[in-house]
Structure 1
Amino acid sequence: MLLQRIITAVVLLIVLLLVSVFLAPVYFRIFVAIASAIALWEWLRLTASANAARIIAIVYLIVAGWTAIAGFDDAAVTTAGVMPAGMPWAGGISPVAAGVATLGVLFWTIAVPLILNRADTQRTPVSVLSSLAGIIVVGGSALALAMLHLQHGVWFIFSFLGVIWCADTFAYFGGKHFGGARLAPAISPGKTRSGAICGLIAAVIWMLATMYIDGSFAGYVHQYFPAFLVLLVGAVLATYSMIGDLYESLIKRRAGIKDSSNLLPGHGGVWDRFDSILSVTPLVLALWMLIRHFH
């Protein structure tokens, strides 16, 4: 099982490096469109009917694929990071981007904590609202990744994803090592409070380690905020990462399954790998838009 997980992770990393570093930006956007369509299908098959999940995911893939190819002008992006007039995201911050970022942040900040706080494995999830949230969150996160990649480059993307990976990895191993009280026993019995603390600390250390590196997410935030606020941002993102993980765990528990699918050997489904990205990315986009607006 461990070998299978390692092999799958290495293959995914190679593909991600290929489409984000060695190929034109459009290939990164196509990769994100495909991956997000699969994640959306996995989400909807747990909150809606199988047919509805399939149809919506196909329609989403067509729209996302078209947007990835025709919705951005790679050559015309200015050094200031502003999309040319006439493009779907003209001005760099479109009403669509602002809307999905706001809805995503509200969902993960207000709705999901309330749902988790009242978690009861006997309750049936509100399928319509959960499905609608999935479309907005997945689509918004895909758009955010595409915009941020085009505006700031691959290192910016990898450096803020590093916050998620650090939080996830150290939460797992920290929980295994220290054990102790469960973080949310009714949702995910394997997660511990000690693991969550280890994940938070690791995320903050990652932000500190990358804060003075040009082109990094932490470095970008540090241009406008003092160091202690940059580290606080890391802790907040790590918290949202755990919220996204717990929400998916709750949906899977209510559906009576272990993994969102079996597409990734040793890892489960794409949503299993992207759950934290979906909860963190809208917040990163919202922070970027606020910085752009006030500076």
Structure 2
Amino acid sequence: MHHANHFYGHAHVLARYAGLGDRHPPRINGYVQHGWNIGDGLAPGHPYAERTPSLLWSEQTRRRAWSVGRRNVSVIGAPFTYLLAMEPDDPPAEEREGTIWYPFHGWEGQHVHGDHKKLIALIRETEPGPVTVCLYWHEYGMRGVRRLYENAGFRVICHGYRGHWWKDTDPYFLDKQLVELRRHRRVASNRLTSAIFYGIAAGCEPAVYGDPMVLADEDPTFGGTARIRRQWPELHGASVDLPTAVAIARDELGTDHRCTPAALRELLGWANLQEEPVDH
């Protein structure tokens, strides 16, 4: 199995939905898109074997993949939509409070450069209630960055480690994220990212505002942040139209393409499993 299929416990969520329980996920026959992006659904720089299936979130991503020459692509919807199918009950609106804020993050190979103090000031100025700042594990491990948000009086959390090369994967990463999203009335970030779409799908009012910051050596192939702001202006600002946001999130997450358990097992190569699953 390609190691990125395990990121954020995606393979584990799909296995649970497919009826395989909490066992270690069998090998997936293909590459599962592991985050929302504006390209072909696959992370740049990752090695991929030719003609191996690409399992993408949305129809628009499939069309982009086709336009750059990728074939053998299928739309299955985001793993998060499968989690929502298993955990469908949103809490009443009166039980939600405040905002969960996701500063744009880097990772092992690319750091983010920006002014966190200015972002904190803008968050304080904009958000009407208590704020939870969710830092990616990379920034959460940077004591200086974490302390800035803690000293601002925000509740600071981390959903956990993404996992890497099949190690230290948290199979309940998305479950933890869903629980936190459902605690809050709003979800916000300084870039349009997976977390915003997850928040919308989980019943939050979205907002995207503030300096998007700079990712070191960011790949400009598909247009970057400038294109995102041009193509999805409706989702940018401190307050956006919720019905519009819900419709866009449904399309981008591929909710209507979510498979049945039997169809998912067939697509992932799990229809006729041997007694002992193959690891990777």
Per the normalisation by structure 2, the TM-score is: 0.27
Normalising to structure 1: TM-score of the pair? Answer: 0.26
Q: Which has the higher helix share?
A: 1
Which structure is higher in strand share? Answer: 2
